[in-house]
Structure formats: C-alpha cells, structure tokens
Amino acid sequence: MSSTAVTGIGELVTCDGTGPDLLGIHSNAALVVEDGLIAWIGSTAAAPAADSRIDVGGRAIIPGFVDSHSHLVFAGDRSTEFAARMTGQPYDGGGIGVTVAATRAATDDELTRLLGLRIDELRALGTATVEIKSGYGLTVSDEVRALRIARRFTTETTFLGAHVIPAEYDGDRAGYVDLVTGPMLQAAAPYARWIDVFCEPHSPHAFDAEEARSVLAAGAEAGLGLRVHANQLGPGPGVRLAVELGAASVDHCTYLGDADVDALAAAAETTVATLLPGVEFCTRSPYPDAARLVDAGVSLALATDCNPGTCYSSSMPWVISLAVRELGLTPAQALLAATAGSAKSLRRTDIGRLVLGNRADLTVLDAPSYLHLAYRPGVPIARVLNDDGFTRQRASARP
C-alpha cells in the first residue's frame, strides 16, 4: 500500500452535500490518498505522514469532472458542416452519416489512436471519468468494435446502435430496429454497461417513441442500464418515456413542458436530467432553463456531449461557464452538476465527491477558488492531478 499526502490546498471543494451551497468546502486543507482512494481529509497543519507528499501551493482542488455523455469513438472531420451551420443552415441530425462513413473506413489502430488523443485532451481539462457511446458504426461489427475500443479507456461504455437510421436502411426503419434490438444488441451487450437511443420525432433520422421503447426494453432485458437522448430539437415523448422506464439519465432536455418537468421532479432519485449546453452553443440553438429544473427539484447533471457534429469540445470547465452564463445555474450548482450530479447519472457513488473511501480523482485549479471555473471562461485552469498510484484511470490505453 502506498500513500500520498496532498497538502497546501487553499480550497478543497468536496461536493459532499454539506455546508453552504452543499459544496463541503475545507480551507487550508490536506488529504491523504492510499492506493488511489481517499483515506484522510483534514487541515494541512494536521496532515499525517505519508510515503510521498504533493504541495499544491494554495490552489483549489475539486472532484475530477465526470463527463457522463460523450461520443468520442469516431474518425473524420466535420468542420465545414459547422461553418455552414454558422451561416444559417439548420441541424437535423443528418450529418451523422458523414462520421459513420469515415469511422467505418478507419482501422482499429487509427480509432484507438484518435480516442487516446481525445482522452488525453479531456484529462488535461480536468475530467477524470468519461462515458463513451458507440453510434458511428451502425453495423454489428462496427458497433462492437467501437465499444471494444472504448472499453480500453473507461468502464462507462454505452451501446448507441439506435443513434440514427443508417442510409442502407432508408425505407426499412423496422428492419433496422429489429437489428438493433436483436443481433446487434446481443453482440454489443458484453462490451457495454448502458444502452441509449436518440428519441427525437423532430429528426427523420432518429427514433420515435415506440421505436425508442423497443430499443430500451430490449437493452434492459439484456442487462444494460438505460440512457436516452430526448427533447433536443423540440417537445417530444422522450423525457417521459425515460422516466417511465427508470432510465438513469435523460439527456439534452432542451424543450420541456410542465408534464416533463413534473415527471423528472417525481423521479429525481432515479432519473437525472443531463444538460449539454455546449450543443446549444455550437448549433446556435435556444438553451434549456436549468433554474426551472432546480426550482422543481429535478436532479441535474452537466456533460459535454463531445461529438464531431454538434459540439466538438471536451471541456467541462467551458460547459460550467455556459451553465452559469446561459442556463441560470449558480457556480455552485453548476459544479455539483458536473461532478456529483453526473456521477449520479452513471449510478456511481465512488466518484464525483471527495469523501473517505471514494476514488481520489482530484482536479487541481490554477486558481484560489472553484468560482474561477465560470469566472475565467476559456482559460485552461483545471487539470487532473496525475501521479502514479494516485489516479487509477490512465491517460493511455490499457493493454
């Protein structure tokens, strides 16, 4: 067993649910990490001896961000689509086909290399845990390949065969749903913890309520937890379907009616509403009203939705600044949603909060306070504190 004392923490934000704003803040703090877990928290003056010591010089430390929604396994480039959208072309989900073609054409080594670079990037921005979806393969072998590669980097893998109807199934939606709920699911399930579906009647490429219900029911039957993309492009049935089926997370939640908000509030212990304001920023779309959800008692998470079409950013600090500036969250609410909230959306209690026994996923800020996350948008002040034996999730792929 090896131990490391981290001392000189000007502001330790534990997000443990206690104290003002539920942030559990300790000043002039220290903590001890043993075998990657938090073994002691107290003042720097009282810090016990340890095998090694890291002094962070008065900086703030927060829980490593939990990015609970990403699409990081892909090849190709869609920067020209972004540029076109900025000149006024609306987004309807069709550009995903471009990424599907490029991803199918890439080798395993190339997909692994690209994913590794993206993982390095998000860790350099303070993210310690990331969920990764498939969904750019859309054949049995390509979906399995994406999940197999993603599993080398995270345990939080999500089967998203029901991302869009691929071009070769134009005119045969039922045939594709049969594939996703049958042979594709059976092949993908051993590599996935979750199943997800893009439930969006406003996109001709996505899935309607009954198709989404079939996908989620089959996933549950195969032992997978449920996540849903819902109510992104307009009002729809996805949020209430997610709540009805006990999904852990329903993501986007941009267009919500009162019945949706009521359903989410009633299901706050089970279903987390995950907001992805980077998408609204990058697609120049209206933002969800997060303050309305907080007032109603809805459980909230924040994530990047990092993907090549609608938000190619892996920056959780930027998402926090958007949530404060555009969604109506306080800086404290935004930080909680990006850590403990997103951990809850993954049904994880060992991450997202710095409490005894939890993983020592520490993100250090080049700042005296967590407030700087929203106060200094676009400035790279957050990074995962990386030390051998200290964080168990590595930047490079496991063998």
Which residue stretch of 182-190, 265-273, 304-312, 330-338 sits at the interface with Zn ion (rule: CB under 5 A)?
304-312
Nearer to Zn ion, 236 or 331 (CB): 236
Nearer to Zn ion, 260 or 305 (CB): 305
Q: Measured from the CB of residue 67, what is the shortest distance to Zn ion in angstroms? A: 11
CB of 246 to Zn ion, least distance (A): 20
Distances (CA, A) of 326 to 73, 94, 276, 375: 29, 27, 12, 13
Q: How many residues bind Zn ion (CB under 5 A)?
A: 1
Say how far apart CA 52 and CA 390 lie, in whole Å: 11
Q: What kind and span of H or E run contains 114?
A: helix 108-123
Nearest approach, Cβ of residue 132 and Zn ion (Å): 11
Other beta carbons within 10 angstroms of residue 19's beta carbon come to 11
In angstroms, what CA-CA distances link 63 with 10, 25, 201, 337? Answer: 15, 12, 37, 11
Q: Which is nearer to Zn ion, 158 or 358 (CB)?
A: 158
d(CA 164, CA 197) in angstroms, rounded, equals 9
The distance of closest approach from Cβ of residue 174 to Zn ion in the complex, given in angstroms and rounded to an integer, is 24
- Measure the N-to-C terminal CA separation of the chain; round to a whole number of Å: 23
| Among the residue ranges 21-29, 164-172, 200-208, 300-308, the one whose residues contact Zn ion (CB under 5 A) | 300-308
Q: How far is the CB of 326 from Zn ion (least distance, A)?
A: 19
Choices 86-94, 104-112, 165-173, 299-307; region in contact with Zn ion by CB under 5 A? 299-307
Nearer to Zn ion, 12 or 115 (CB): 115
Q: Which is nearer to Zn ion, 106 or 197 (CB)?
A: 197
Which range of residues in 14-22, 39-47, 134-142, 303-311 is near Zn ion by CB under 5 A? 303-311
Residue ranges in 360-389 that form contacts with Zn ion under rule CB under 5 A: none
**Residues facing 129 on adjacent strands:** 66
Q: Which is nearer to Zn ion, 14 or 271 (CB)?
A: 271
Under DSSP, is residue 329 helix (H, G, I), strand (E, B) or coil?
A: coil
Between vectors from CA 155 to CA 298 and to CA 377, what angle results, nearest 5°? 55
| CB-based closest residue to Zn ion | 305
**3-class DSSP state of 162:** strand
8 A C-beta contact, residue 136 and residue 103: yes
- Could you say which of 81, 143, 260, 305 contacts Zn ion (CB under 5 A)? 305
Instruction: Indicate the residue among 158 and 214 with the shorter CB distance to Zn ion.
Output: 158
Q: What is the DSSP string of 198-266?
A: EE-TTSTTSB-HHHHHHHHHHHHHTT-EEEEEESSSSS-SHHHHHHHTT-SEEEE--S--HHHHHHHHH
Tokens of 302: 């924040």
Is 131 a binding residue for Zn ion by CB under 5 A? The answer is no
> Smaller CB distance to Zn ion: residue 63 or 308?
308
Single out the segment in contact with Zn ion by CB under 5 A; choices: 19-27, 72-80, 101-109, 305-313. Answer: 305-313
Phi, then psi, of 138 in degrees rounded to 5: 60, 15
- Using the contact rule CB under 5 A, the part of the chain among 12-20, 297-305, 317-325, 378-386 near Zn ion is 297-305
Footprint on this chain of Zn ion (rule: CB under 5 A): 305
